Chain A
């Protein structure tokens, strides 16, 4: 049995330790916002956070989460008020949407470490998240917009 928290809630699962965290999140915990893309850490669709760091859950064994705090797209905010969610809605970033939860989770790590990222910073931070619809220009705009929203909230 492996215990950790998911989006603030303690969970204990009986999956074998080598089971990819993605399948535990989706199948055992029924949190289906995190997507399966490639299964080889090549596309970024399955990105979640473990203790605040981005992790490709399709290749991370659930044993890696033991005793840690896992955050999925469902846990980034309880009410769509995270600056990235606000910016994504405002700019209408997604097209098919399949990659977008992974995009937002990677962007969240970027903004947590760099509150005013440049275009170059965004490229460096987001280059592991593939979008087959090519929404990259809107993703970049939305990250800049989320940075602005965060700054405005901080100023209040």
Chain B
């Protein structure tokens, strides 16, 4: 009995192994396929992620480059002089403090009998060194100074994007402001004896749009 059983063992074992293998192989194959699929998916995701990161880095670099280009306009005397770090406007190409001890005032329009409109008219006056003019002639108000003087491109960029500091403007509203605001436009019509910004207005607006379209990353 035992001998007979012993003789039968190898065959039984072989049958069991075969049955198990037969049952498991498809599953194993499926699992292997799944693993292979999963592995290729991970590769795809990693590859896509890397591409996204590269694209993001590329967009960030493009945004930073665009803002640096726009910054040449912001930093020019025509913009900088009315975006001082203190409470007095600046004058001239060298950005000296406005004579007569002019002050910003809470609304950016001066104080008492020393308001901007005391001397500045709705248009530039003819002649060198005559007061320039615009209907909106003023500094930014005291609660939204939007300082350019003494700032780096990155510092100004972060200030410009900060709703708490930019009058709660969205990026779209910032583009609208630089594109169509009449007082911003004065920078390209500054009257006799005043230099123009280094870019013309369409170039400046294009740089600002490129900054926003590429994610509005700020320079360091």
Contact = CB atoms under 8 A, between A and B. Distances in A.
A2 interface: no
Given A40-B129, A41-B131, A59-B131, A105 B113 contact: yes
Find the residue from A56, A109, A128 having the highest chain B CB count within 10 A: A128
B138 to A, nearest CB: 14
Nearest to A58: B119
A127 B118 contact: no
B121 A47 contact: no
Nearest to B99: A42
Contacts, number: 68
A121 B115 CA distance: 14
B131 A109 contact: no
B102 interface: yes
A53 interface: yes
Contacts of A123: 101
A125 B113 contact: yes
Contacts of A14: none
Contacts of B142: none
Contact of A40 (B103, B111, B115, B130): B130
A93 B121 CA distance: 31
A128 B131 CA distance: 14
Interface in B41-86: none
B5 interface: no
Interface of B: 99-103, 111-115, 117-119, 121-122, 125, 129-131
Interface of A: 40-42, 47, 53-56, 59-61, 64, 105-110, 113-114, 121, 123-128
